[in-house]
Amino acid sequence: MKKKVLLITGSMNQTLQMQQIAEQLPEYDCWFSQLFTDNPLVNFLLERTPLFDATILGKKHRNTAESYLRSHHLKIDYRGLRNDYDLVIYCADMLIPKRMHKTKMVFVQEGMTDRVTWKSHLVKALGLPAWFTGDTSLNGSSNTCDIYCVASPGYKAHFTGNGIDPHKILVTGIPNYDNVRSSLANDFPHKDYVMVATSDIRETFRWENRKAFIKEAVRIAAGRRLLFKLHPNEKMERAVGEIKKYAPAGTLVYQRGNTLEMIANCIELITQYSTVVYAGIILKKKVHSYFDRDQLQRLKPWQNDGASAANIAQACRNYIERGTISKRDHSLQESPADTAVLDVLNER
């Protein structure tokens, strides 16, 4: 019988990443589950209250992910109860049930993590679960998984600084952000605008002055046309209403669509806490972010022409079959270059 792999989904970006990894593991029996917990209190609140609706635990994200998986004829095992698994691939390590610790586990970075703040330090100092921060600042920092697949050498240093054993970390690149330049060839109908990519700050229980942010975007645009791409987790009616109120007539607003293609066609990019800022940097756009630009340059995802899913799958394959991280896997983290990727892929 085929060995079984459970891939944990979350946002659509995380779900698409897991699908791409599964496609590179055809010799295994791959199943999918939305991120879950066995904590009775959290599950009670999840079912009976809207407290977690804005998180990837919530019903909205689960329904969206499962609808997508079904449309692609992929197998779902919510909470991983139907099978015994040889490997679990996580998109978040902030909430891993104890029963899963007996299984081999791989973490795959999705994108940018939130800024580490006093809350992050306090949660770590008190030994509280990482999700007590209310953000993603400690995602990828539990040291619970056996392997951590990350976006770049800069993120290897970042996660090492957050407490991950550096010998567990592989610089594989991350799907969806490893071939940004391919978005330059697109048929998005607009060009030469100032683009604003918003974040779901308010929906994740943090404070934001959206009026001031929109007015700052208008100031930066200085008469040039604006295009807003809203975060999919936002309350759309509220966000659209604010843009209509504070931005000039003719401002474009998109709730859906290919964000990378929109960035490819813009002349300047304004973001808050969004991973898409890396696309602007890679495409050499002028960018604005709540993060330091020099830090973003150090952290930006490795561009390997779309090889990240294959790199991650190969690391998973080696770990399932051998129980170790291979020397070839480690070569990626020591010297991430296109030749190293090709060497690993050609080794199969």
Give the closest residue to 311 by CA, choosing from 79, 116, 5, 106: 106
Q: Which CATH architecture has domain 4-178+302-346?
A: 3-Layer(aba) Sandwich (3.40)
Spell out, as residue ranges, where the chain has pLDDT lower than 70.
324-348
Burial (0-12, 13-18, 19+ Cβ within 10 Å), 29: middle
d(CA 95, CA 75): 22
The encoded tokens of residue 238 equal 């509220």
pLDDT tens digits along 8-29: 999 999 999 999 999 999 999 9
The reported pLDDT for the residue numbered 42 is: 86
What's the Cα-to-Cα distance from 309 to each of 151, 159, 234, rounded to whole Å?
11, 20, 28
Which pLDDT does position 326 carry in this prediction?
Answer: 58
| Angle between the N-to-C axes of helices 338-346 and 308-322, in degrees from 0 to 180, rounded to the nearest 10 | 50
At residue 344, the 3 state secondary structure works out as helix
Return the ∠ at Cα 202 (arms to 259 and 238), rounded to 5°. Answer: 75
Q: Over the stretch 113-148, which tens digit does the pLDDT of each residue have?
A: 878 888 888 888 888 777 777 778 788 888 999 999
Query: Tokens 């899913």 identify what position?
Result: 309
Length of the chain: 348
In 3D space, the residue among 269, 274, 267 whose CA is nearest the CA of residue 290 turns out to be 274
- The pair phi, psi for residue 11, each rounded to 5°, is -70, 170
Residue 26, SS3 per DSSP: coil
Q: HSE, CB side, 13 Å, CA atoms: give it for residue 323.
A: 1
Name, in order, each residue with C-beta under 8 angstroms of 310's C-beta and a sequence gap of 6 or more.
24, 345
SS3 50: coil
User: Would you state the pLDDT for residue 337?
Assistant: 38
pLDDT for position 247: 97
Fold adopted by 180-299: Rossmann fold (3.40.50)
Question: What's residue 128's pLDDT?
Answer: 78
Residue 120's alpha-carbon distances to 96, 116, 151, in angstroms, are 18, 6, 22
Does an H or E element contain 17, and which? helix 12-23
| Residue 140 DSSP code | T
Q: Which two tokens stand for residue 228?
A: 């807003």
CA 344 to chain centre: 24
Sketch the domain layout of the chain as residue ranges: 4-178+302-346, 180-299
Distance, in Å, from the CA atom of 176 to the CA atom of 158, rounded to the nearest integer, reads 20
Topology alike, domains 4-178+302-346 and 180-299: yes
Q: How many CB atoms lie within 10 A of CB 9?
A: 29
pLDDT for residue 219? 98
